Amino acid sequence: DTVVRLADYRAPAWRITHVALEFELGATSTRVTSTLRLVAQPGQPAPPLRLDGEDLELLDIALDGRTLGPGEYTLDASGLTLTAAPSACELRTTARIHPQRNTRLEGLYLSRGALFTQCEAEGFRRITWFIDRPDVSAVYDVTLIADRARFPVLLSNGDRVAAGELDGGRHFARWHDPHPKPSYLFALVAGDLARLSAPFTTMQGRTVEVNVWADRADVARCEYALGAVLRAMQWDERRFGRAYDLAVFNVVAAQDFTMGAMENKGLNIFNARYILADADTATDDDFIAIESVIGHEYFHNWSGNRVTLRDWFQLSLKEGLTVFRDQEFTADLHSRGLKRIEDARLLRSRQFVEDAGPLSHPVRPPSYREINNFYTATVYEKGAELVRMLHTLLGETGFRRGLDLYFERHDGGAATVEDLVAAMDESSGRDLTQFLHWWEQPGTPRIEAQARFDAVSGEYTLTLRQHGSDPDHPLHIPLALAFYDANGRRIDTHPEVDADYRPGLIELRQREHTLRLRGLTQPPLPAFLQGLSAPVRLDFDYAPEQLARLVQVETDPLTRWQALQQLARTAILPGAQRRVALDALLRAQSILLDDPRADAAFVAACLALPDFWDLGAQLERIDVDALWAAREATLDALAIDQTERLRERHLQLTARAAGGLEGDSASARRLRNLCLARLARVEREGERAVAQYHGANTLTDRLAALQTLLHAGFAQADEVLQDFAARHRGDALVVDRWLGALVTAPRAGTLDTVATIVRGPFWQPTNPNRVRAVLGSFVRSNVPAFHRADGAGYALFFELLPALDSINPQVASRHLALLENWRRLDDGRRRLLDAHFDALQTRLTSRDSRETLARLRGA
Ligand code: HT7
Ligand code: ZN
C-alpha cells in the first residue's frame, strides 16, 4: 500500500475535456463504453497517458478510431497506460463490470433490484478507465440503456435530453451535464422507482423540477424530504446568494449505502435513512438529521461541485465549509442555541476523542494510504469549526464577502484551503496567514486561563496561555469572553489587553496574553468561549459554585450547557471537588427542571451527562469499570435527588408531547423521555414506560419507552418488544432502531443478545445500516458488554471483522476505528486488544482496514 503525500502533488499531465459514456445496464453484467477527449498539457513530447481502472474487464480499446492491439497499451490491476498517445486524441474503451457482485458499494452496485453508483472518492475507476482525480473536470454526455420492465427509471447528472424505446423491451435515456465536473461527482441510477415532485423557482426566476425518488412502496414517506430540499434551496439563496443551476434536481433513496449521502451533480443519492420519514417510522432526531443531510448535500452544489478540490488532501475545504453551512441552515430554521449545543456535544464526543488517540490527524492530513479513511470527525466537524472561526473573525458581512469572492474566483475550478483563506484575507484586508496553521496542526489546543485579583488596587489580571499547538507556530484563536459582577450583571469596562480586542472577543496570536480589568471591588466571574468560539479545551480553575452561578447569569445557551458539563465532569472524575460538584450539579439541574420558562429541549440537553468517551478523553488511563461506575453513580444520584421533579415533569409534559411533529412538541418529548429514562433508575416497575408506549403517537415516544424498558431490564420489555417488532418487521430502517436499542442495553449479559443477532437472520453484513445498528451501536455505546473484562465482547467483534472487511472495506475500517481509545484503556483490556490486533494483521484484505490497523498501533 503506497503512501500518497500532499507534498508530492503535481498538476495532471493530461486533461479530459469531454466524456461520452454509454451503459448497457444489467444487474449481473453491465457494459460501459467510454469515449474520452484527451489533451496533453503543453510540452513535447506528450507524456505517457495513465488511466486509473480497477476490477474492469477490457472488451475493446481504440485510439482515434483505430482498435489497439495488445502491444500498444499495458493493463494492470490499477489501470491502463498508453505510452505513445498523440497530445490531442480520442480514446474509446469498453469494459464489463458486475454490479451484483459489488458488495463494496463503490462504483456501480445493485441494491434491492436497482442500480446505483458511488464514486467519491475513487469509485469511478471501478466503472471505466479514467484520470480519476478531482482536478480533472470534464463535460459528460451519458446514455443509459436497460430493460424497461426492470429499470423503467434511468437517471444521471444534468438534464435529460433524449429518451426512447429500443428493441427487445429495452429503452434508453440520454443525459447531458453542461457543468464540467470531476469523476467523483458522476452518478447514475436505474430502477423501478417512484417519485414525489415539486417545482422551485430560483431567485433568477428559473423553474427547477425537484424530484425525490424511492422504492414504490416508500414514496409516500418522501414528503418531508421534498420539503427539506425546497427549504435548503431557498435558504442558500437567502443566506449565501447561491442558486441552483440546472433544470432538474433529482434526489434518490438507496437502502444499501456506505455513508449518509452523496452530492453528485444534479443527482444526489442518499442513504434511505436520510430520506424516508413519517411520524410512525422516524424520530424527532431523524427529522432534524434528514433536513440537515439534505441541506448538506444540496449546499455542496456550490461548496464542492461548482468549486471543487484540487486534491483529496483538501477534503475539508468542501466538507468543513459545507458542514458549517448545514449547521447554519439548521440554526436559522430551528433553535440556534440548541444547534450549537448539539455541535459542541458532537465535537467533544467524537472529534476531541479522535484527536486524543492514535488516529489524530490535522484537518488537512499531509499523507494517506486510503483516502476513504479520512472522512473523519476531524475533517468534517473540526473543519467546520475552522470555517466558523473565520466567520467569527470577519463577521457575517465580511465572511459573506470573502465567500462570494472565493466562489467567483474559483467557479468551475479546483481549489485549495489556501484559496479560501486568501479570498477571506483579501476581501477583508485582514492578515489571515497565521490562521492557516489550524489546517496543519493535529490535536486539541488547550487554553490555560489563570486569574489574579489584587483586592487593594482592585486590579484583576487574566493570563491566557496556549498549549498543544506547534511551539514555533502558535494558533490564531478567537476567544469569546465576558465578565460578570456579583449581581450577575455583565461588566462592560474595556479591559487593557495586549491583543486585538473587541467587546466580547479577544484574538490570541501569541503563546501568552494578559488582560487587565481595573477598579473592581470584587473579582469578577469570567465566562469563556461563548458559542464555542474555537475548538479548544479551556482550563480555568472554577469552584463548583462559580460554575453553578454561571448557569444562572450567562445568557448564551452554549456557555450555560458547558458550565453544567464541566460541573458533571468534576462530579464524576476523581478529584477533591467531587462531592461539592455533585451538590452544585444537583442544585443547578433542579433549578432548570423547575423553570417553566426554560425551553424543554434545552433543559434536556443540560440534564444529560457528558458521554463516557468524552470523559475518558481527558484521562491518561481509562479504568473502564471505575469510570463507568462513577458515571452511573452520578446518574443514580441525580435520579434519586430529582425523583419527584422528574415525575411531575413527565406528567406535566404529556399533553405537549402528544401534540404532533412540530418543534414545541418535539422539545417536550425530548425532556419527557429524559425524565422517563432517569426515573427508570429509581422505579422498580416499568408501568410508566408501558403506558407511554401504548399511548404514543410518534416513533420518538414509542422507541423511548421501548428503550427504557430494555435498558432498565424491566419485566415488560419482552412483551413490548414483541409488539414493536410485529408493527415494524417489514421496515428495515425501523428494525435497525430496535436492534440498536437491544444491543445497547448496558449490562454484560447483552453480549449474548448481540451474539444471537449476528448468528441469525437479522444480521445482514452487506447492508451498512444494519452493521452500524448492531455492531456500531454495540461497540460505541455499550461499555459494560463490549468492554467486558473477560474479553468476550472483543472476541465477538474480531470474529466478525475479517468477513466484513472482504464485503465492504469502508464499513469494516470505520468499525475498527471505533477502537481509537484502546491505548489509554486499563492494562488488562489493552493487552487483550493488542493480542487481537496481532491476530488480525494477516486476516485483513483491504487497504482501508490495513491502514486503520497500522495507525491504531502507531505505525
Ligand atoms: N461527500 C460524501 C462523502 C463520501 C461518501 C458518501 C457515500 C458513500 C461513500 C462516500 N465516500 C465519501 C458525503 C458528504 O460529505 O456529503
Ligand atoms: Zn459533505
- Phi-psi domain of 660 (left: phi exceeds 0; alpha: psi -120 through 50; beta: other): left
Q: What is the pLDDT of residues 790-826, one digit of tens each?
A: 999 999 999 999 999 999 999 999 999 999 999 999 9
For residues 31 and 660, which has the higher predicted lDDT (pLDDT)?
A: 31
**What is the rounded distance in angstroms from the CA atom of residue 859 to the CA atom of residue 856?**
8
Residues 575 and 591 in one domain: yes
Q: What is the pLDDT of residues 555-592, one digit of tens each?
A: 999 999 999 999 999 999 999 999 999 999 999 999 99
The last residue of a domain, from among 483, 506, 534: 534
Residues 435 and 452 in one domain: no
Q: Which residues pair with 540 in a beta bridge?
A: 449
> In the prediction, which pLDDT does 859 show?
77
Catalytic residues: 297
Which atom of ligand 1 is found nearest the CA of 293? Answer: 16
Residues 182 and 42 in one domain: yes
Q: Is the CB of 419 under 6 A from ligand 1?
A: no
Ligand 2 mean position, distance from CA 316 (Å): 9
- Nine-digit cell at 384? 467546520
Residues 209 and 139 in one domain: yes
Residue type, 800: L
- Would you say residue 463 has pLDDT above 90? yes
Q: What is the pLDDT of residues 750-763, one digit of tens each?
A: 999 999 999 999 99
**What is the rounded distance in angstroms from the CA atom of residue 34 to the CA atom of residue 90?**
10
Q: Mean pLDDT, the chain, as a whole number?
A: 98
CATH number for the domain that contains residue 763: 1.25.50.10
Domain membership of residue 168 (yes or no) is yes
Residues 382 and 504 in one domain: no
Average pLDDT over residues 841-848: 98
Residues 436 and 451 in one domain: no
Kindly indicate the confidence band of residue 662, based on its pLDDT and cuts at 50, 70 and 90. confident
Q: Is the CB of 767 under 6 A from ligand 1?
A: no
DSSP conformation letters of 506-536 = EEE-SSEEEEEE-S-SS--EEEE-TT--SS-
Give φ, ψ of 556 to 5 degrees: -75, 120
CATH number for the domain that contains residue 518: 2.60.40.1840
CATH number for the domain that contains residue 98: 2.60.40.1730
**What is the rounded distance in angstroms from the CA atom of residue 242 to the CA atom of residue 776?**
37
Residues 455 and 484 in one domain: yes
Among all ligands shown, which has an atom nearest to the Cα of 318? 2
Q: Is the CB of 22 under 6 A from ligand 1?
A: no
Domain membership of residue 193 (yes or no) is yes
Among all ligands shown, which has an atom nearest to the Cα of 322? 2
Residues 70 and 198 in one domain: yes
Kindly indicate the confidence band of residue 663, based on its pLDDT and cuts at 50, 70 and 90. confident
Name the residue among 506, 440, 356, 634 with its Cα closest to residue 7.
Answer: 440
Ligand 1 atom 13: residue of nearest CA: 262
DSSP conformation letters of 397-429 = HHHHHHHHHHHHHHTTSEE-HHHHHHHHHHHHT
Domain membership of residue 291 (yes or no) is no
Residues 510 and 567 in one domain: no
Q: Which of the 8 DSSP states describes residue 135?
A: T
Kindly indicate the confidence band of residue 45, based on its pLDDT and cuts at 50, 70 and 90. confident
Ligand 1 mean position, distance from CA 261 (Å): 6
The last residue of a domain, from among 440, 469, 492: 440
Average pLDDT over residues 10-34: 98
Domain membership of residue 138 (yes or no) is yes
Q: What is the pLDDT of residues 363-383, one digit of tens each?
A: 999 999 999 999 999 999 999
Kindly indicate the confidence band of residue 661, based on its pLDDT and cuts at 50, 70 and 90. confident
Domain membership of residue 853 (yes or no) is yes
Number of domains in the chain: 6
Ligand 1 mean position, distance from CA 771 (Å): 18
Q: What is the pLDDT of residues 288-324, one digit of tens each?
A: 999 999 999 999 999 999 999 999 999 999 999 999 9
Q: 712 CB contacts (<8 Å, ≥6 apart)?
A: 680, 681, 686, 689
Q: What is the pLDDT of residues 606-617, one digit of tens each?
A: 999 999 999 999
Q: Is the CB of 319 under 6 A from ligand 1?
A: yes
Q: Is the CB of 326 under 6 A from ligand 1?
A: no
Tell the residue number behind the cell numbers 492514535, with chain if given: 358
Q: Is the CB of 384 under 6 A from ligand 1?
A: no
- Would you say residue 54 has pLDDT above 80? yes
Ligand 2 mean position, distance from CA 261 (Å): 8
CATH number for the domain that contains residue 365: 1.10.390.10
Helix (H) / strand (E) containing 328: helix 315-333
Ligand 1 atom 2: residue of nearest CA: 262
Q: Is the CB of 848 under 6 A from ligand 1?
A: no
Ligand 1 atom 4: residue of nearest CA: 120
Domain membership of residue 4 (yes or no) is no
Among all ligands shown, which has an atom nearest to the Cα of 376? 1
Q: What is the pLDDT of residues 665-723, one digit of tens each?
A: 999 999 999 999 999 999 999 999 999 999 999 999 999 999 999 999 999 999 999 99
Percent of the chain at pLDDT exceeding 90: 98
**What is the rounded distance in angstroms from the CA atom of residue 727 to the CA atom of residue 795?**
34
* 528 contacts 481 by C-beta, under 8 angstroms: yes
- Nine-digit cell at 68? 489497439
Domain membership of residue 296 (yes or no) is no
Residues 21 and 139 in one domain: yes
Ligand 2 mean position, distance from CA 595 (Å): 39
Residues 708 and 611 in one domain: no
Residues 406 and 458 in one domain: no
> In the prediction, which pLDDT does 338 show?
98
- Would you say residue 144 has pLDDT above 80? yes
Which atom of ligand 1 is found nearest the CA of 271? Answer: 7
Q: Is the CB of 270 under 6 A from ligand 1?
A: no
Q: Is the CB of 118 under 6 A from ligand 1?
A: yes
> In the prediction, which pLDDT does 43 show?
83
Ligand 1 mean position, distance from CA 271 (Å): 10
Ligand 2 mean position, distance from CA 658 (Å): 35
Tell the residue number behind the cell numbers 435515456, with chain if given: 173
Q: Which of the 8 DSSP states describes residue 90?
A: E
Residues with CB under 5 A from ligand 2 (ion): 319, 322
The last residue of a domain, from among 234, 264, 280: 280
Structural domain for 423, as ranges: 308-440
Q: Is the CB of 52 under 6 A from ligand 1?
A: no
- Would you say residue 235 has pLDDT above 90? yes
Residue to mutate (ligand 1; options 104, 183, 185, 262; most atoms within 8 A of CB): 262
Kindly indicate the confidence band of residue 651, based on its pLDDT and cuts at 50, 70 and 90. very high
Among all ligands shown, which has an atom nearest to the Cα of 317? 2
Residue type, 556: D
* 449 contacts 505 by C-beta, under 8 angstroms: no
Domain membership of residue 137 (yes or no) is yes
